[in-house]
Amino acid sequence: MIYRDFQGLSLSLLGFGTMRLPTTAAGDVDAAATEALLDYAMTHGVNYYDTAWPYMQNQSETVVGRCLKKYPRESFYLATKFPGHMLTGDPDPAGIFEQQLEKCQVEYFDFYLLHNVYENDMDVYTDPKWGIIDYFLEQKRLGRIRHLGFSSHADIPCLTAFLERCGKDMEFCQLQLNYLDWSLQRGKEKYDLLAKYNIPVWVMEPVRGGKLAALDADSQQKLRAIRPEASDASFALRWLEGHGNIRMILSGMSTMAQVQDNIATFEKDDPVTPEEEAILLAAAEKMKNSVPCTACRYCCDGCPRGLDIPDLLHKYNQLRAGSGSTIKMQLDAVPKDKWPHACLGCGACAAVCPQKIAIPDELAAFAAQLDKLPTWVEVCRQRAEAEARERASRGRRE
């Protein structure tokens, strides 16, 4: 396992993100499967575990705390976050913090973050009336927080303003960073800005919610010619290894295969070569027509129609990539009131989207394109007719 120094601590460069834990058929976190994943990670050198108040419908902190309870407290680093971006009414940092300690069954957090500082909530985090940052600085003084930082999906002006106001109190920043968002979401500019303030980077979404773990066939062929056994995800992780201000790469792992592959990738420090990077950046250019959803699911709770918005946007991206008939087939298994046509256009989803996606517009465009496609029954009939014509043609030739 590769380790990187942070203020005298030796952190595994691979951190275990717990926003995408395995689930049961009922949709709850599968505690037994999660425990197996965390046990494997612990025994193979991963010592950093990242959770948050809203992850997995508020179950992540509790399950992670139970799984790690059997290990000596000094053998792992635990991080969680204050959900200021989700709160309505008066924020209650003390009440939430005490619940988090109880849920995670710990007396302190090694790392604690202001969750998603961005344009819509920066004033909440920084308003002296609420005293949020002051409260957590006091918990740090008391030893109940060892290191205080923040995560952010903000654009450059907002990120700059926050650093100017609060950068002196922040020890690290968790940032969405990968070779696609290096340019698409101005990742390089954000990375350079944080370096200017001497704030190290924690990486989230290193494989873009799985998008960079399934590249196009041409890119895969070129990469396999160089490293035949390497996974697409491993190239994304190795691309990040080459950036010196990155101290932590968080991967949201949900299967044992993902855990094992990621740990194998971090066995030795082996950044991508210039040839590999050129292939990855070319692959990224092909993806930029996609809706940049990372399936964080912040949009789902407030949807009045109960739409699975990340799944719909994922299907829309596939349709845009030429998989129309497959998507129509998949949607035929979904109730009509959960199709993109059901969107009311209220904008509640867009207001909380970290990627700043105009979700109602995208769903409307998706619905319009679906209306132009034949139904799955019609596709099957067309295929059957085509096969019948081909058989008849072969019979005449024979």
Closest CA to 47 of 8, 101, 103, 9: 9
The pTM of this model reads 0.78
Assess whether pLDDT exceeds 80 at residue 11.
Answer: yes
> pLDDT tens for residues 43-68?
999 999 999 999 998 999 999 999 99
The length of the chain is: 398
Kindly report the number of other CB atoms within 10 A of residue 229's CB atom: 7
Q: Is 296 exposed, middle or buried (0-12, 13-18, 19+ CB in 10 A)?
A: buried
Residue with the two structure tokens 């034949």 = 374
Q: What is the pLDDT of residue 325?
A: 65
- Given a contact cutoff of 8 angstroms between Cβ atoms, the answer to whether 12 and 46 are in contact is yes
> pLDDT tens for residues 267-321?
999 999 999 999 999 999 888 778 889 889 999 989 999 999 998 998 898 788 6
The conformation of residue 242, written as its DSSP 8-state character, comes to T
Instruction: Provide, rounded to the nearest whole percent, the portion of the chain with pLDDT above 90.
Output: 73
> pLDDT tens for residues 94-118?
999 999 999 999 999 999 999 999 8
Pairing of strands 246-252, 14-17: parallel
Residues 158-163 have a mean pLDDT of 94
Radius of gyration of the CA atoms of the chain, in A: 23
Assess whether pLDDT exceeds 90 at residue 333.
Answer: no
Q: Is 87 exposed, middle or buried (0-12, 13-18, 19+ CB in 10 A)?
A: middle
- Given a contact cutoff of 8 angstroms between Cβ atoms, the answer to whether 269 and 225 are in contact is no
Whole-number Å distance between alpha carbons of 187 and 183:
6
| Fold adopted by 290-398 | Fumarate Reductase Iron-sulfur Protein; Chain B, domain 2 (1.10.1060)
Q: What is the pLDDT of residue 379?
A: 55
Query: Residue 49 pairs with which residues in a beta bridge?
Result: 16, 78
Q: What is the pLDDT of residue 122?
A: 87
Phi-psi region of 8 (alpha: psi -120 to 50; beta: other; left: phi over 0): left
Delimiting residues of CATH 1.10.1060 domain(s) in the chain: 290-398
Pairing of strands 3-6, 9-12: antiparallel
- Model confidence band, residue 332 (pLDDT cutoffs 50, 70, 90): confident
Closest CA to 67 of 46, 83, 81, 95: 46
Please give the mean pLDDT across all residues of the chain: 91
Q: What is the pLDDT of residue 346?
A: 96
Whole-number Å distance between alpha carbons of 298 and 305:
15
Q: What is the pLDDT of residue 215?
A: 94
Delimiting residues of CATH 3.20.20.100 domain(s) in the chain: 3-287
| Fold adopted by 3-287 | TIM Barrel (3.20.20)
Assess whether pLDDT exceeds 70 at residue 390.
Answer: no
Helix or strand holding residue 149 (H, E): strand 145-152
Assess whether pLDDT exceeds 90 at residue 385.
Answer: no
Closest CA to 150 of 192, 99, 204: 204
> pLDDT tens for residues 201-238?
999 999 988 889 999 999 999 999 999 999 999 999 99
Kindly report the number of other CB atoms within 10 A of residue 327's CB atom: 23
